[in-house]
Homo-oligomer: A and B are copies of this chain.
């Protein structure tokens, strides 16, 4: 059984580590909160496991410790935010809050972001909008790791997309996906465990599908979900996150993990908020309830207890994590122990 970690202690730990590597306390608080929220969902690939990399980049100076995101240009229903190379979480929270504020009066708002960095899980920003009663969408570009149909090499990033729909009582409907068939982390994990690599996961550098997990990532890249569909949607995300915001695109984006830590990565991101209260009035939430009830009453395959809404399992995990602690897998625990050693923060109990 995995040892459980108290979310409050974990947030304090993350805050201390970020401050120890140079972050402003306010920025550390935002990032710590969002990383722990992601862990409570059970999405460990995008939670506090990222801390070590963020700390190194803060110390090296590629992530700026001081300053605040700036609105570079804007109108009543849109804004472009310059992230000043601050942590992606700081800039992205500011950008989504800006989108929420503008959509509150305008009905809809787009906020594009440039000079940002890795922003963690897209879902945390979409959820912010839903918690304010709005429909939220969040997306970002990244260094290429996903091929296009017919290509021998990666063309676009995994380019995550999340959305959230507010509900009357239950937590928001929440989807957070990448445009690859599966995440790179899943390829690594399957290979390390000796499990098979499915034929639609990887494309080798001859442009053909491969099931040899040892080739990834040096000689194979991720396949786009359902071929041209994932590739095409990744380009939409690139357009809204990078082309429209003025951020770096594709191979110009820096790798926050592997590239020179002293240099900004110039990731782009995009946030959309739509206000159902203005556009549809209170009936919107009635309709959401009707949809939820209908999906919950769908007959299921043998052994399947329920057809779930997107995010429903993650919110259940969060509820349990807030009561019983987060059941960290060993690799996350090991990553945090390393953070503890590197930045002089007391180990988590």
Inter-chain contacts of A299 with B (CB < 8 A):
151-153, 207
Residue A132 lies at the interface, judged by CB distance under 8 Å to chain B: no
Instruction: Name the one of B246, B283, B307 contacting A150, with C-beta atoms under 8 angstroms.
Output: B307
A239 touches B301 (CB 8 A): no
Within 8 A of B (CB), among A228-273: 228-233, 235-236, 238-240, 242-246, 249-251
Residue A58 lies at the interface, judged by CB distance under 8 Å to chain B: no
B279 touches A244 (CB 8 A): yes
B228 touches A225 (CB 8 A): no
Residue A47 lies at the interface, judged by CB distance under 8 Å to chain B: no
Closest chain-B Cβ to A213's Cβ sits at a distance in Å of 19
- Given A236-B163, A236-B175, A279-B78: A150 touches B301 (CB 8 Å cut-off): yes
A207 touches B302 (CB 8 A): yes
Closest chain-B Cβ to A332's Cβ sits at a distance in Å of 23
- Given A77-B107, A108-B110, A177-B232: A151 touches B279 (CB 8 Å cut-off): no
Q: List 28 A-B contacts (CB under 8 A).
A: A75-B279, A77-B109, A78-B106, A106-B106, A108-B109, A112-B280, A150-B301, A150-B304, A151-B301, A155-B294, A165-B239, A173-B235, A175-B233, A175-B235, A177-B233, A181-B226, A206-B302, A207-B299, A226-B230, A232-B310, A235-B309, A239-B291, A243-B276, A243-B280, A243-B287, A243-B288, A244-B284, A250-B294
What is the interface of chain A, defined by CB distance below 8 A to chain B? Answer: 73, 75-78, 80, 106-110, 112, 135, 137, 148-153, 155, 163, 165, 173, 175, 177, 181, 206-208, 225-226, 228-233, 235-236, 238-240, 242-246, 249-251, 274, 276, 278-280, 283-284, 287-288, 290-291, 294-295, 298-302, 304, 306-310
Given contacts A243-B288, A246-B283, 18 further A-B contacts (CB under 8 A): A76-B76, A77-B108, A110-B274, A112-B280, A135-B240, A148-B307, A148-B308, A163-B236, A165-B243, A173-B239, A175-B236, A177-B228, A177-B229, A207-B300, A225-B226, A239-B288, A243-B280, A249-B290
